[in-house]
């Protein structure tokens, strides 16, 4: 199973010297990453910061940048942040699982999301 994925940012991170850094690596997230991020003081005071903190943990490399942190992620262009958010969702399979069901009336096979909530 692949756990680390290469990427190229659409715009790139511009460091203090004006150099652009576009290629990097993102690893799969763990439950610990998400738990740790929800306890971060920046997230507690501003929940919309959650994405920045998580990406700061799972983006393991950005060529030419010694260490990727939430502070680096928050300095990205919005196009790059959106790109990384989309990649995070795709590689971590955030989409709900689908299942095939057969219509009892017409016999057509359709795909529907699995709903894990319990009622009642």
Residue-wise pLDDT tens digits, 25-44: 999 999 999 999 999 999 99
User: What is each CA distance from 82 to 55, 56, 78, 106, 111, in whole angstroms?
Assistant: 11, 14, 6, 42, 28
Asked if the structure places residue 102 within a domain, the reply is no
* 114 vs 60: CA distance, rounded Å: 32
Please tell me the predicted confidence (pLDDT) of residue 118: 39
Range of the domain at 30: 4-95
Q: If you average pLDDT over residues 68-77, what whole number do you get?
A: 96
Q: If you average pLDDT over residues 10-18, what whole number do you get?
A: 96
With residue 80 as reference, give the H or E element that holds it.
Answer: helix 78-91
Please tell me the predicted confidence (pLDDT) of residue 120: 41
Please tell me the predicted confidence (pLDDT) of residue 94: 66
Asked if the structure places residue 62 within a domain, the reply is yes
Q: What is the pTM of this model?
A: 0.76
Residue 9: pLDDT over 60: yes
Q: How many domains in the chain?
A: 1
């Amino acid at each position: 199973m692949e756990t680390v994925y290469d990427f190229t940012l659409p715009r790139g991170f511009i460091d203090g010297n004006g150099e652009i850094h576009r290629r990097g690596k993102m690893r799969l997230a763990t439950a610990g990453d998400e738990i740790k991020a929800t306890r971060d003081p920046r997230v507690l005071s501003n929940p919309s910061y959650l994405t920045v903190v998580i990406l700061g943990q799972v983006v393991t490399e950005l060529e030419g940048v010694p260490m990727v942190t939430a502070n680096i992620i928050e300095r990205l262009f919005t196009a790059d942040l959106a790109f990384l958010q989309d990649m995070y969702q795709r590689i971590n399979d955030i989409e709900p699982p689908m299942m095939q069901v057969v219509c009892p009336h017409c016999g057509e096979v359709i795909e529907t999301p699995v709903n894990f909530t319990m009622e009642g």
